[in-house]
Structure 1
């Protein structure tokens, strides 16, 4: 296992999850231009998938294992996130009602929005270091959304956008001589439109004009603050939640693995 970038794309350990009495493991690697994901259930192979982009999914019973890669994962094959995704609820399923929390919140997670279960990243990987930072400082980790939004606002204010546009003008571009085409003039008909009455002038209050004029500066930061607060609250709730009760999990899909099993035993024929 390694925490750096491996140009070979070899597996850097397995993501693990103990779910309902079963041990789930996901292994990722790079194979040429693709990323390969292998799923193991209780140590036995249970499926494999390949993707040429940033996301792969493997079936696990009625659920699925979703693996997401970042930009560096395109090079070394390391995943940035691995989650067990529950099936979507049926449209005709009855909604649970709680007298304290209202409709759709009888189970604490909200009907129609099942919770995903995150895998534990392999020790020493980038995802493990990122998860350790998120657990140690959840508010600081979630504030990255605010920093990114503030950067997008401050960047044009500092004149860096103008500097980039000036630098782009210095980039040589090919000069393609296009032929001059004489387009004939079309005699459009003159339609006498009726005179419409003037609409009354409606002016917004000054404070509303100021708010709308500055919305492009404060709106991204406000949205980022809301996203960061929700992420920090979700991480605190996940760290305080009790572990799931053990129980029998779904049987792993071992199609393609059972072909290597021993052939059935032949019965002997009666001899003299």
Structure 2
């Protein structure tokens, strides 16, 4: 069946400029990108590029923007039959202003109507139960997240900060960026601190933890082992989408039979490629290693 991603779909507009102008003034945009985006869509597209059939459970408005984004997702090989079209709701919009040096700002219009409800998730129950993997973004409302974890039939990958620890009982993988890791564990996102706190999370349910570290690199922890994978030395242009790429690549590698160590290394390399370009859209060309 492949993977089902439960999360966000939005129109991404990226404007690249030397620096943000001061208030009351203007500045030239050197490059503009308009693309399918949102964490859910980014991960679904990435999985498809990695050879994993992917479906998306998300919300789009009943507007031309939603029509265009779903058409783009279909071209990318993503099953959008479980994307809800919400009447009277504009499709989500994320505008990224990217300055030289990788400094970014997001302007987000994500009204309540584009967030998933429990009913939206349960309408896709058949696909969730049949999936080899279900990726759930914890930025969605808790009732929708709980429903997705409850009905998921395969590998369950949680992405973000867990606010309800009961969710961990149904999780196989928990991934978080450095800020989220510090919030989740209550300690700085440094290797030693995270390793000290990790056993408590593993006891709660997940088999694999994937945490970004504030000093750079990503730490993967599983019962009986761990691996810290440094980031590649390439020039970072835009960190947007790096976490989504890591989550998609990690899932694809685990589904292919890779060990946690192999999957972690592949995922960090995949994320390292995405951050060398503006915007969060993945462009994977390598397939994950098989076990």
TM range (shorter): under 0.3
Provide the TM-score with structure 2 as the length reference: 0.22
Q: Which is higher, the Rg of structure 1 or of structure 2?
A: 1
Provide the TM-score with structure 1 as the length reference: 0.23
Normalized per residue, the structure richer in helix is 2
Normalized per residue, the structure richer in strand is 2
- Higher RCO (CA 8 Å, separation ≥ 6 residues): 1
